[in-house]
C-alpha cells in the first residue's frame, strides 16, 4: 500500500477514536450538569463501554501497524507535519496503555464516574469517610498504571507528563520554590497593611437571574462564540470541548458572592476561547485540543486575572454592572470596586482564592500528590496532612472536610498530576502578558475601550491555533523566548498589591 493510502486509512481510523471521545465528553458533561442521580450508575457503565472502545482502538494491532509504518525514517519526507505529530501522539498513547489490561482500564473508568458522584455527596455532608474507599481504589489504580508504564524512579513525573509534557518535579520544585519565597512575605505584608479595602458591598445579595444575564454579557464581550457553545450551571465550574464548534462552559451562581461567579465564568471562558480558536485543519485529529493543562490554565487565568481583575476592564464594564445590580454599587467608586475585587487574604477554598494567595493553594496539593506517589503517604491521612500544609503555607487551618480536603473534584476524577498546571499556567500567563505588552504597547487602552479582539487575535496567533501541534515548552519559548520564569508573575503581583494596599 502506498504511503498516501496508509495515511488516509490512519486518519480515518483515528477519526473514529475522536468520535468516541466526543460522545464520552457529552455523556460526562451531562452527568455533571444535571443528569438524574438514579441514572448515574448506568451512565457510568456507558462511559466505561465507550472508553473501552477508545482503549481497544488506541492499543490495537492495527494502530501498532500504522505507528510502525508511519514512523519509519524512510517515509518521513512524505508526511506532513500534522501527520508526524499525530503519529507521535498516537505512539505515546499506545505505549502508555498497551500494557494495561483492558478490563482493568474499563473498571478504572467506571470508578471515575462513581467516585465523582460520591464526592458530590461527601462534599455536601463534609464527610471524607464516604469518599475514602473510592479514593483508595483510585490511588491504587494509578500506582499500578505507573508500574505498567515501567516507571521506577520518580513516579510522580509519570503523572505530571499526562498533563504537562516536558515538565518534571525537578523543574517545578525550582519554579515553585522561587514563587513561594516571593509570595509568603508579600502575603504577610498585605495581611498586616492598615489600608485594607472596604468590600462589604461585594457580599450583598445579587439576584441569580441578573448574575446569569451579566455573565452571558461578559462572555460575549471577551469573544466567546455562543454559536459554538453554551453556559450551564454546575457545582464545580468547568469547560468541556466536544469539538471547536461545540465548546461548553459552566458556572456556579452564588447570590452573596457574585464576583466569584463573574470571575469564575470569565476563567472558564478563557479555556473555551483556546478551544474555539484551534485551527479547523486539526479537527478530527488528536491534535485538536490544548497542548497541556498548564497552557490551558494560562489562558483561563489570563482572562480571569490579567483581564477580569484589571482596572482597565472595569473602566469599560462597571457602569454595565450597576445596571444589572440592585443599587448596591450606586455609592461605590470604580477605584473602591477595583480594590475590593482584588483584596487578598488567606482563605480555605481554592476556586475562591484571590490571585495573590492562589499559587500557595496549588503548592499544598502538589506537595501532597508527590508524597502519595513518591513517598508513603496513605489516603486515610489526607485530611490531616492537608490541614497541616494549609497552616504552613497560608497560616490557616480548615475546620471541616468540605473547606479542606473535599473541596476539589480532581482526585475523585483520578486527575493526579493536574494541580501543578494551575500555578504553572499562572506563571505562563504572566510571561505571555509581558510579551504581549511589548507587541501591543497600548494593551490597557484596548481593554479599557472593550476592544478585546486585538488580545484574542494575539493569543490565537501565538497559542490557540496550534492546538497540541506544539508542546507546551515549545509554545512558551517560541512566544516569550524563555522557559518557565516566575519572576514576571512576582513583579506583577508586587506592583499591583503594593498599589492596592499602599505598601
Catalytic site residues?
Answer: 268
Burial of 205 per CB tally in 10 Å (0-12, 13-18, 19+): exposed
3-state DSSP assignment of residue 400: coil
Q: How far apart are CA 214 and CA 124, in angstroms?
A: 28
Q: Is 382:419 a contact under the CB 8 Å cutoff?
A: no
Q: How far apart are CA 74 and CA 479, in angstroms?
A: 32
What residues have CB less than 8 Å from 126, skipping those under 6 apart?
400, 401, 402, 403, 406
Strand order in the sheet with 231-233: 231-233, 246-251, 239-243
Residue-by-residue DSSP string for 4-59: HHHHHHHHHHHHHHHHHHHHHHHHHHHHHTT--GGGHHHHHHHHHHHHHHHHHHHT
**Which cell is 187 given?**
502575603
- Provide φ and ψ at 240, rounded to 5°: -135, 145
Number of alpha carbons in the 13 Å side-chain half-sphere of residue 191: 15
Burial of 323 per CB tally in 10 Å (0-12, 13-18, 19+): exposed
Q: How far is C-alpha 73 from the chain's CA centre?
A: 36
Residue-by-residue DSSP string for 217-269: HHHHHHT--GGG--EEE-SS--EEEEETTEEEEEE---TT-HHHHHHHHHHHH
Amino acid at each position: 500500500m502506498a504511503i498516501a493510502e496508509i495515511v488516509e486509512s490512519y486518519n480515518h481510523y483515528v477519526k473514529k477514536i475522536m468520535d468516541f471521545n466526543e460522545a464520552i465528553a457529552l455523556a460526562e458533561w451531562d452527568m455533571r450538569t444535571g443528569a438524574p442521580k438514579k441514572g448515574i450508575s448506568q451512565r457510568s457503565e456507558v462511559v466505561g463501554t465507550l472508553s473501552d472502545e477508545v482503549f481497544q482502538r488506541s492499543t490495537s494491532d492495527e494502530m501498532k501497524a500504522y505507528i510502525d509504518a508511519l514512523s519509519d525514517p524512510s517515509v518521513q519526507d512524505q508526511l506532513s507535519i500534522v501527520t508526524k505529530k499525530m503519529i507521535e501522539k498516537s505512539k505515546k498513547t499506545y505505549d502508555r496503555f498497551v500494557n494495561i489490561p483492558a478490563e482493568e482500564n474499563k473498571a478504572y473508568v467506571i470508578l471515575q464516574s462513581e467516585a465523582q458522584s460520591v464526592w458530590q455527596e461527601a462534599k455536601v455532608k463534609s464527610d471524607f469517610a464516604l469518599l475514602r474507599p473510592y479514593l483508595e481504589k483510585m490511588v491504587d489504580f494509578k500506582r499500578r498504571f505507573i508500574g505498567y508504564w515501567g516507571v521506577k524512579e520518580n513516579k510522580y513525573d509519570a503523572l505530571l507528563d499526562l498533563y504537562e509534557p516536558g515538565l518534571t518535579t525537578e523543574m517545578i520544585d525550582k519554579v515553585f520554590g522561587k514563587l513561594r519565597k516571593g509570595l509568603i512575605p508579600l502575603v504577610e505584608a498585605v495581611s498586616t497593611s492598615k489600608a485594607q479595602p472596604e468590600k462589604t458591598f461585594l457580599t450583598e445579595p445579587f439576584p441569580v437571574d441578573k448574575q446569569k444575564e451579566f455573565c452571558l454579557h461578559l462572555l460575549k464581550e471577551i469573544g466567546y462564540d455562543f454559536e459554538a457553545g453554551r453556559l450551564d450551571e454546575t457545582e464545580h465550574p468547568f469547560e468541556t470541548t466536544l469539538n471547536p464548534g461545540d465548546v461548553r462552559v459552566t458556572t456556579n451562581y452564588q447570590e452573596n458572592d457574585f464576583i466569584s461567579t463573574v470571575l469564575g465564568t470569565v476563567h472558564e471562558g478563557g479555556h473555551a476561547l483556546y478551544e474555539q480558536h484551534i485551527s479547523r485543519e486539526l479537527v478530527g485529529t488528536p491534535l485538536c485540543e490544548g497542548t497541556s493543562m498548564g497552557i490551558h490554565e494560562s489562558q483561563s487565568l489570563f482572562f480571569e486575572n490579567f483581564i477580569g481583575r484589571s482596572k482597565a476592564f472595569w473602566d469599560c464594564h462597571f457602569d454595565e454592572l450597576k445596571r444589572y445590580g440592585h443599587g448596591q454599587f450606586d455609592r461605590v467608586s470604580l477605584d473602591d470596586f477595583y480594590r475590593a475585587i482584588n483584596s487578598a487574604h488567606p482563605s480555605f477554598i481554592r476556586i475562591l482564592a484571590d490571585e495573590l494567595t492562589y499559587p500557595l493553594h496549588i503548592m499544598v496539593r502538589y506537595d501532597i500528590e508527590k508524597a502519595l506517589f513518591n513517598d508513603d503517604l496513605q489516603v486515610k491521612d489526607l485530611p490531616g496532612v492537608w490541614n497541616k500544609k494549609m497552616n504552613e503555607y497560608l497560616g490557616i487551618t480548615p475546620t471541616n472536610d468540605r473547606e479542606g480536603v473535599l473541596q476539589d473534584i480532581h482526585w475523585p476524577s483520578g486527575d493526579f498530576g493536574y494541580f501543578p498546571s494551575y500555578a504553572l499556567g499562572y506563571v505562563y500567563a504572566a510571561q505571555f502578558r509581558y510579551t504581549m505588552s511589548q507587541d501591543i504597547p497600548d494593551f490597557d487602552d484596548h481593554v479599557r475601550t472593550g476592544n478585546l479582539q486585538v488580545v484574542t487575535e494575539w493569543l490565537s496567533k501565538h497559542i490557540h491555533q496550534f492546538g497540541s501541534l506544539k508542546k507546551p515548552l515549545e509554545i512558551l519559548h517560541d512566544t516569550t523566548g524563555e522557559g518557565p520564569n516566575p519572576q514576571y508573575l512576582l513583579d506583577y503581583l508586587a506592583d499591583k498589591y503594593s498599589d492596592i494596599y499602599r505598601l
